[in-house]
Amino acid sequence: MNLGLMIPGTVSGKIQVAVGYRNFFVWVLLSSIPALILSRLIPIRGGGNAAAAAPEPVEEVPQWR
């Protein structure tokens, strides 16, 4: 499971060393913009009304002494 962090970390570390920290930071910020735009286009079922998706309340169970 750690391999999923080690390989991308190694690759991103080599990119950061090649372009510099500030340029790498800007590059990461700019490359996240398409994902943010696409996330706004994903349809959500139920019209986005969170109250309609709430479960029914559970009845109180009497406490035995």
Span 1-52, pLDDT tens digits: 888 889 989 999 999 999 999 999 999 999 999 999 999 988 877 655 555 5
- Could you please report the per-residue DSSP string of the chain? -THHHHHHHHHHHHHHHHH-HHHHHHHHHHHHHHHHHHHHTS--GGGG-TTTTPPPPPPPPPPP-
Is the whole model's pTM more than 0.75, yes or no? no
